A and B are shown apart, each in its own frame.
Chain A
Amino acid sequence: MVVDVVGFLPHATIHLPGPFRYLWLQPICCANSPPRMSPEQILFWVFAVATVFSALGVVVLKNPIASAMSLVATFFFLAGIYVLLWAHTVAALQVLVYAGAIMVLFLFVIMLLSINDVGPAVQLSFSRLLGAVATAALLAALVLAFRKLPTSDLAWANDPARLASFGSIKEVGAIMYTQWLFPFEAVSLLLLVAIVGAVVVAKSRI
C-alpha cells in the first residue's frame, strides 16, 4: 500500500500485460505476490533509479556547481524513498535540512571560492588502485550480504492502526522527546560543540 500523505493517490494496482510480465522486478517485500506492480513499486523504481543516477552525477560531473545540484537531486529522490518507507516526516526533514539548508551552504561556499571547473587530473597510483580494489570488495561483500537477506513482509504491514500513526510527526516527536531523550540531548550538545568549533576554527583572530 502507498502511504497516502497528500490524500489523493488512488489505491489502485496496475496489472502488467503479458509480454511485460518478465520485466517485473521483485522488490524486497511481497515475494509471493502475483506479478504485478503496485504504485508503490513503480514509485520505488523511479526513485531508486533516479537516486543512483543523480548520485553518479555527483561523482562524474566536472563542474562543481552541477555536482552539488546533482547531490540536491539525490536528496530529493532519497526523500521519495523515505516516503515509501512510511517515513514521510523524515522525508520532509530530509528536504528541509539537507536540500534546503546544508546544500545551500555548499553552493554558497563553492560560489564564493570560485573553484575551477576542471579538477586535478586523475593519475593511477598504487594507493588509488588499492582504494578501488577495497571499494569494489566492500561493494561485492555488501551485495552478497543483501542478496541473501530473507524477504518477508513486515509484521505489522496489515495493521491499519499502526500504519495510520507510524511515521507521523506526532509519533516521531513523542518517541524522540521521551524514549530517545538521552541521544536527543546528546545531539544538542554535539551541535553546540560543532558551532563553537566551527567559529574557533574559522575566525581569523579569536
Chain B
Amino acid sequence: MRLRWNVIIGSLTIIPGLLFGGVATGYLLGGLADKHLFVGAHHLVNVVLLLLVFVMVIATALTLAERKWSAMMQNRIGPNRARLPFLENSALSGVPHVITDVLKLLTKEAFIPKDASKLLFNLAPMLAFAPVFALFAIVPAGPTVNVFGFDIEMVAANPDFGLLYLFGIASLAVYGTSLAGWSSNNKFALLGGVRASSQMISYEVALGLGLVGMMIAFSTVQLGGPAGMSDLQSHYLPGWSTYLGPIDVGVPQWGFLLQPAGFILFFAAAFAETKRAPFDVPEGESEIIGYFVEYSGMQFGLFMIAEFVEVVVLSGVLIAIFFGGPYLPFGNLWLKSLFGPDWQWLYGSILGTVFWLKVVLLCYLQLAIRWTFPRFRYDQIQTLGWKILLPIGLANVFISGALILWDPSLKALAIAGGIEILVLVALTLTPTPAKSRADAHIGHHGPVDEHGHGADHALPAGHH
C-alpha cells in the first residue's frame, strides 16, 4: 500500500495536538474552578472533560477506526461513501460516517417487541452503558500539578477504595446485558443474555485475582493521588536509577514489569468482560445475533457505544495500573524541572497527552486482537476462565506475595517479572512444529483450501 505521508504526518501532529489542547484546558479550567468556586471543584471539571469529552470522543472515533482498521487488515478500503457537503470529492478517510451513523441511530424507530417487559426493556441499555462509563471516574489521566496555587488532580474521583470501586461497578455491567436478553421476549436474546452473564461471572474471579499482585506490591488499592498506583509507577526501583546529564533514567516500577502474569490475566479477563471477539459468544453474530437482537435505534446505539467506551476505559485502566499511568519510563523528574512553578500545568499537559496517546495505542492493540482471533467456543471460554486463568492467578498471588515479603523493595519481583516476560517472548518466537501447526490450522479454521487460506476470511460483510 502506498504510504500517504500527508495523512501520517497530519495525524501525528493533529492527534497529539488535540489531546494536548484538551488536557491543558482541563488543568487551566480546574485551576480557575478551584480559585473561583470552592476547593475541589476541579473534580467537577474533570467529570465533564475526561468522561464526557475525552472518553466519549475517543469511543466515537473508535466506531470508525474499528471499521477502517479491520478493512486495512483484510485488504479492503472500508467505509468511504458518506461525504460532507462541498467536499464531495474527498472521502476524508471515512470520517463523515461518524455523523451519518449517529443520524441514522437517532432517527430510527425505537421498536419494542410484543409482550416484552417494557420497563426492563428500556432500562437495559442504560444499565449496560452507565457502569462502563462510570468506571473511568477513578482513572487518573495526568499528574497532580499546581495551577494558580491549587493542586489539580486529573481524575474525576479518587476514593481510597479505588480498585474495589472498579470491581464493583464493572460487575454491574452484566445487568444490562442479561436484562436486555430476558426482557426482549426472544429466545435468541435470552440465550445471548444467559451466555453473557455466565461469561462475565466466570471472568470476574480472574479479573480480581489479576490485580491482587499489584495491590500487594504497592500496598494500596487507590489509583490516583500521591500514594496511588499511578503515581507510584513514576518512581524507579530503589538504587536502579542514575542521571544521564540532566535526564534521569532507571528501571521504573511499572506494573507490567512487576506483574506480567497479572497483566495478562487482567487483560484477558477484562477483554472477556467487553464481550468482543474472541469472547463474543453472547453476540455470536453468525449464530444468535446477541442479547440486543430486538433493539433498534439509539437503544441499540447505547449497547454499541458501551462496547467502544469499554475499550477506551479498559485501556485507561490498564495504563493506570500496568503502564505507568501518564508517566514516561524515564525523564519525568527532568521534565518537571524544565518548567517553573507557574508553568507546571504545561508539564501536566505533556504527561496527560502521553497518557492519552498510550490509551490510543492500547485501543489499537484491542482492535487488532478483535480482528485477528476467531471466536472461542463456549466450553473453551469456560475452560480458559476456570481452569487456566484462575489457577495462574492463584499461583501468581502466592508467588508475588512471597517475593514481596522476601524483598520489600520490589527488586526481586521485578527480576521475576523480567524473567516471565523473557519466557513469554521466547514462547511466542518459538516456531510451532509443522505437524501440530497443521492440526491447529484445521482445528481453528476448518478445512484448508488448495491456496492454503483458512475459511474464516468470510467476515461479516454487513458490518457497516
Asked if B80 is an interface residue, CB under 8 A from chain A, the answer is no
Shortest Cβ distance from B41 into A: residue: A8
**Which of these binds chain A: B5-13, B172-180, B331-339, B343-351?**
B172-180
Shortest Cβ distance from A99 into B: residue: B172
Contact between B171 and A65, CB atoms less than 8 A apart: no
Given the contacts A99-B168, A169-B221, A92 and B159 also touching, CB distance less than 8 Å:
yes
**Which of these binds chain A: B54-62, B99-107, B191-199, B278-286?**
B191-199
Asked if B117 is an interface residue, CB under 8 A from chain A, the answer is yes
Asked if B169 is an interface residue, CB under 8 A from chain A, the answer is yes
Asked if B244 is an interface residue, CB under 8 A from chain A, the answer is no
The 8 A CB mask of B197-209 against A (1 = contact, 0 = none) is 1101100100000
Contact with A108, one of B40, B165, B183, B194 (Cβ below 8 angstroms): B194
| Chain A residues, Cβ within 8 Å of B204 | 100-101
Beta-carbon contacts under 8 Å, B120-179 to A: 120, 123, 153, 157-161, 164-165, 167-172, 174-175, 178-179
Asked if A54 is an interface residue, CB under 8 A from chain B, the answer is no
Asked if A93 is an interface residue, CB under 8 A from chain B, the answer is yes
Report the minimal beta-carbon distance from B134 to chain A, rounded to whole angstroms.
Answer: 11
Asked if A105 is an interface residue, CB under 8 A from chain B, the answer is yes
Given the contacts A96-B167, A100-B168, A108 and B178 also touching, CB distance less than 8 Å:
yes
Tell me the complex Cα distance, A111–B169, Å: 22
Contact between A89 and B43, CB atoms less than 8 A apart: no
Contact between B194 and A101, CB atoms less than 8 A apart: no
The 8 A CB mask of A104-115 against B (1 = contact, 0 = none) is 110110011000
Contact between A111 and B182, CB atoms less than 8 A apart: yes
Asked if B190 is an interface residue, CB under 8 A from chain A, the answer is yes
Shortest Cβ distance from B43 into A: residue: A8
Given the contacts A65-B182, A66-B120, A104 and B41 also touching, CB distance less than 8 Å:
no
| Chain A residues, Cβ within 8 Å of B197 | 104, 107-108, 111
Contact between A66 and B171, CB atoms less than 8 A apart: no
Sorting the interface of chain B by its residue count into under 10, 10 to 19, 20 to 34 or 35 or more gives 35 or more
Number of residue pairs across A and B with beta carbons under 8 Å? 97
| Chain B residues, Cβ within 8 Å of A88 | 159-161
Given the contacts A92-B164, A92-B165, A168-B160, A104 and B120 also touching, CB distance less than 8 Å:
no
Tell me the complex Cα distance, A112–B159, Å: 37
Sorting the interface of chain A by its residue count into under 10, 10 to 19, 20 to 34 or 35 or more gives 20 to 34
Contact with B120, one of A6, A10, A69, A169 (Cβ below 8 angstroms): A69
Shortest Cβ distance from B224 into A: residue: A7
Tell me the complex Cα distance, A96–B171, Å: 7
Q: Is the interface of B mostly helix, strand, loop or mixed?
A: helix
| Chain B residues, Cβ within 8 Å of A112 | 194
Contact between B158 and A6, CB atoms less than 8 A apart: yes
Beta-carbon contacts under 8 Å, A68-123 to B: 69, 72, 88-89, 92-93, 95-96, 99-101, 104-105, 107-108, 111-112
Tell me the complex Cα distance, A89–B153, Å: 22
Given the contacts A69-B175, A111-B178, A7 and B160 also touching, CB distance less than 8 Å:
no
Contact between B117 and A169, CB atoms less than 8 A apart: no
Asked if A181 is an interface residue, CB under 8 A from chain B, the answer is no
| Chain A residues, Cβ within 8 Å of B172 | 95, 99-100
| Chain A residues, Cβ within 8 Å of B201 | 101, 104-105, 108
Report the minimal beta-carbon distance from B282 to chain A, rounded to whole angstroms.
Answer: 13
Tell me the complex Cα distance, A89–B197, Å: 26
Tell me the complex Cα distance, A96–B120, Å: 22
Contact between B194 and A96, CB atoms less than 8 A apart: no
Tell me the complex Cα distance, A12–B117, Å: 42
User: Taking beta carbons and an 8 Å cutoff, which residues of B are in contact with A?
Assistant: 38, 40-41, 43-44, 117, 119-120, 123, 153, 157-161, 164-165, 167-172, 174-175, 178-179, 181-183, 190, 193-194, 197-198, 200-201, 204, 221
Provide 24 A-B residue pairs closer than 8 Å at the C-beta atoms, listed in order of the A residue: A5-B157, A6-B157, A7-B40, A69-B175, A69-B179, A88-B160, A89-B160, A92-B161, A93-B168, A96-B171, A99-B168, A101-B204, A104-B171, A104-B197, A104-B201, A105-B201, A107-B175, A107-B197, A108-B178, A108-B194, A111-B182, A111-B190, A169-B160, A170-B160
List 7 A-B pairs, minimum CB-CB distance, nearest first. A100-B171, A96-B168, A6-B157, A95-B168, A8-B43, A8-B40, A92-B164
**Given A6-B159, A8-B43, A89-B164, list of 12 further CB < 8 A pairs?**
A5-B159, A6-B43, A6-B158, A8-B41, A8-B157, A65-B183, A96-B168, A96-B171, A99-B172, A100-B172, A108-B198, A111-B190
